[in-house]
Amino acid sequence: MCLNIFSYKSHPDYKLIIAANRDEFYSRKTESAHFWEDQPHLLAGRDLEHGGTWLGITKQGKFSFITNYRDPKSFRKDAPSRGALVSDFLIGTMSPSVYLNNLKNTNNYNGFNLIVGDLNEVCFFSNVETKTKKLDNGFYGLSNALLDTPWKKLVRGKTAVAETISNKNFQAGELFDALHNEQNAEDSELPSTGVPYEIEKLVSSMFIKSETYGTVCSTVVLVDNTNLVQFIERTYNPLKENKTVSFKFAI
């Protein structure tokens, strides 16, 4: 997941709002969001190559998502899959802070940014800065750098989502519209992460399109003050049939 805007207990009607784009190679084998047969309390998409996920929520109100930290000079092909960090938290019984404090060998993974939370606390951990941060109630953005690093795509995303949810009667579809922005950053606004200019330019938009890589799905998660969850995922992969899946349940 390469762009994730979220509000945690900072909206008058919702305890949690997540608006997220996942960027991936179109050829990567995945399943759309569903309740897993082997973990029926867990709602998430699934990586069919390694078994983990990029974003999910449980019937008990635990949620988690992850983004890669862009650092090509440190990338290792033999590193373990980062998606297991999300699914292990959602499947387990540890609280967010306890889970992060018990993570082992995080330097074995390629760079990542991990959010784990429930209705009592939400925490952030990156193996780049290697410390757990308990987040205050607030409005945050996460891309492929540390939390709230003001890359242009993240600034645009936070502005668009904030404007959308400021309308008391906003609809989930409006958040999908906010996420579907293909405008690239100006050259002067591009971060310097070590990838070639053409790639840096391509991935500087909120919604990415290319021949082999791009935004393959968008997800909106809403948890209202009565603990009713609405989870909607739209897929855009040109190699698959695009579809929308929607779920509602009470925590």
Which among 125, 138, 135, 120 is positioned nearest to 88, based on CA atoms?
A: 125
Residue 221 maps to a domain: yes
| Total Cβ atoms within 10 A of residue 138 | 12
Residue 156 maps to a domain: no
What's the CA angle centered on 67, arms 28 and 65, to 5 degrees?
95
Q: Which stretches does DSSP call E strand in 75-186?
A: 112-117, 122-126, 133-134, 138-142
Rounded to two decimals, the pTM is: 0.96
What's the CA angle centered on 171, arms 169 and 175, to 5 degrees?
125
**41 is in which domain, residue-wise?**
3-149+213-250
Number of domains in the chain: 1
pLDDT tens-digit series, residues 184-196: 999 999 999 999 9
Instruction: Give first-to-last CA distance, the chain, whole Å.
Output: 24
* CATH number, residue 133: 3.60.60.10
- At 1 the pLDDT is 62
pLDDT tens-digit series, residues 146-198: 999 999 999 999 999 999 999 989 999 999 999 999 999 999 999 999 999 99
What's the CA angle centered on 245, arms 239 and 247, to 5 degrees?
155
